[in-house]
Chain A
Amino acid sequence: MSPNSTGNRLFDRPLRELGRALLFLFTAISRMRFSRLQVAETLRQVYFAGVRSLVIIVTCGFFVGLVLTLQTYDTLTRFGAGDAVSTVLALSLFRELGPVLTALLFAGRAGTSITAEIGLMRATEQLDALDLMAIDPMERIVQPRLIAGLIAVPALVLIFNVTAIVGGVFFAVFLMGNDPVTFWSNMQASVELGRDFLGGMVKAVAFGFLAAWLAVWFGWSARPTSEGVALATTQTVIATAITVLILDFVLSAFML
């Protein structure tokens, strides 16, 4: 057997899976319809995806800010550049850590529950029931969760960034006794709204879309059994982590 044909077999399944996931996404988007019910359901999903991730986002954000400041402060003071700590903190948060870490935490907290929920809906025939009631599950189940992810992740990134900066202030200003005015003015002077901050938010939107798509897709395509749903939630986390990091590299390369 030629090496080519084994190669085909190796890539055949993932490629078909990717194709089906894309087709699924296009179907979901093409059937987009905005009714009052749809908006209410989307808001409900923002609650489930966003509000319920708040605790983990705020906790992690604070400690990431704290430890990032601790480490960079220690290094920077060796070069007599301790004042630059707020610059390093804000730039690394806005451009990389905020969007990436939030997307990973979102996948673990909200993405898995979206996957499990839809997988179980399939297993318990709730999706069939919708179909039979002439309600499009794409419209009522998939779309609100996609849009909610698109809204919730950027919102969580903003909150993550603020709490991380609070963590940084806590360390640099309260524990190390640095001058707060210098801290803020150095940050302001070196962080640019358009390129650094909004560039990071572009990433946040892209990651939110990706995380929500993968979560919904793995739930939708899960085998309707306990193992099937368990496998699907694992796949959501792994696939989101890998694709977010790859996409992060691509977007960073484009933006710089």
Chain B
Amino acid sequence: MTHTEAAIELRNVTVELGGRTILENLDLVIPAGKVTAVMGPSGAGKTTVLRLITGQIRPDSGEVRVGDTRVDQLSGKALNRFRREIGVLLQNGALFTDLTCFDNVALPLREHTELPETLIRRLVLLKLQMVGLRGAAGLYPRELSGGMNRRVATARAMALDPSIMLYDEPFAGLDPISLGVSLRLIRDINHALGITSIVITHDVDEVAHLADQCAIIADRQLMASGSPAELADSDNPLVRQFMQGLPDGPVPFHYPADDLAADLLAAEKQQ
């Protein structure tokens, strides 16, 4: 892979939440203009990485850079200005349930621009057309399926034409057709607009079709990174476990516990 300019850089980042160290001395580089998949077991801290990039949380130590901006040093107005440059699709879309799809997409435009209503209408319909849901403009989120909700939320995240798009598990719980639609959508957005995309996902198979670059986070660290093909051939047992979906391996099936036999005996003794 040729060297590309880094759009996002996490340097030596440590995050503690609720007294636990979630990430420790993590280094992560996201190249500009590409789709990067961030993978890892549940609870590994993928969403935490996303929240670092958006400035929702600050690292306990280390640096978070987006372009020339030190996100970990932003606050108030500067942080808000920065956030207009990034679009985020949260895990379940997080559409406003009391607004129609149209109003959901229009919200950031109405809030941050002084555009006349006719122009806003045109922009919103174009964004909805892009995700294939112009026909659902007048519907409420609850009238749409989960996959459609996320597509409307994608349109909303794109409303201000961000230069970076972040998707948190956009494929989780989708049927195969919706999954295919979402996959193509993310790729098209990336290719058509040349923006930097980060996709958090578990879906190993889809990553091969989608991502230019992969990063696996496990055990508070960046475990591996490279193109999907490189990772598929990796010797690293954890990478292999993850890429092949093996139930047990370096990531244990069991939550840490005492020895089973000892536990059972202890229960008997109590009685």
Contact = CB atoms under 8 A, between A and B. Distances in A.
Note whether A and B contact each other (Cβ less than 8 A).
yes
Interface of A: 37, 124-126, 128-129, 131-136
Given A125-B90, A126-B96, A133 B107 contact: yes
Nearest to B168: A125
A125 B54 CA distance: 14
A46 B123 CA distance: 30
A126 B98 CA distance: 11
Nearest to B51: A128
B56 A126 contact: no
B88 interface: yes
B140 to A, nearest CB: 14
Contacts of A136: 80
A136 to B, nearest CB: 8
Contacts of A128: 56, 90, 94
A132 B56 contact: yes
B112 A134 contact: yes
A134 B83 contact: yes
Interface in B52-95: 54, 56, 79-81, 83-84, 86, 88, 90-92, 94-95
B94 A134 contact: no
Given A37-B110, A124-B94, A126-B94, A134 B80 contact: yes
B56 A125 contact: no
Q: When A and B form their complex, which 10 residue pairs have the shortest distance between CB atoms, in order from nearest?
A: A134-B80, A129-B94, A125-B94, A134-B83, A132-B88, A125-B90, A133-B108, A126-B94, A134-B84, A135-B111
B112 A125 contact: no
Contacts of A124: 92, 94, 97
Contact of A37 (B54, B80, B83, B111): B111
Contacts, number: 48
A14 to B, nearest CB: 22
A133 B111 contact: yes
Given A132-B56, A134-B111, 7 more contacts: A37-B110, A125-B90, A129-B88, A129-B153, A132-B90, A133-B108, A134-B80
Contact of B83 (A125, A126, A133): A133
Contacts of A37: 110-111
A129 B112 contact: no
A108 B111 CA distance: 33
Interface of B: 54, 56, 79-81, 83-84, 86, 88, 90-92, 94-97, 107-108, 110-112, 153, 156
A243 B88 CA distance: 41
A125 B47 CA distance: 13
Contacts of B156: 133
6 contacts: A126-B97, A128-B56, A128-B90, A131-B56, A134-B111, A134-B112
A76 to B, nearest CB: 50
A37 B95 CA distance: 19
A132 B91 contact: no
B84 A125 contact: no
Contacts of B86: 132
A135 B160 CA distance: 13
Contacts of B96: 126, 129
Contacts of A132: 54, 56, 83, 86, 88, 90
Given A126-B96, A128-B56, A135 B91 contact: no
Nearest to B111: A135
A171 B174 CA distance: 63
Contacts of A133: 83-84, 107-108, 111, 156
A129 B90 contact: yes
A126 B88 CA distance: 12
Nearest to A132: B88
A125 B97 CA distance: 11
A120 to B, nearest CB: 8
Contacts of B54: 132
Nearest to A124: B94
A145 to B, nearest CB: 13
Nearest to B104: A129
Nearest to A126: B94
Contacts of B56: 128, 131-132
Contacts of B91: 125
A132 B83 CA distance: 6
A161 B35 CA distance: 64
A135 B107 CA distance: 9
A132 B54 CA distance: 7
Contacts of B90: 125, 128-129, 132
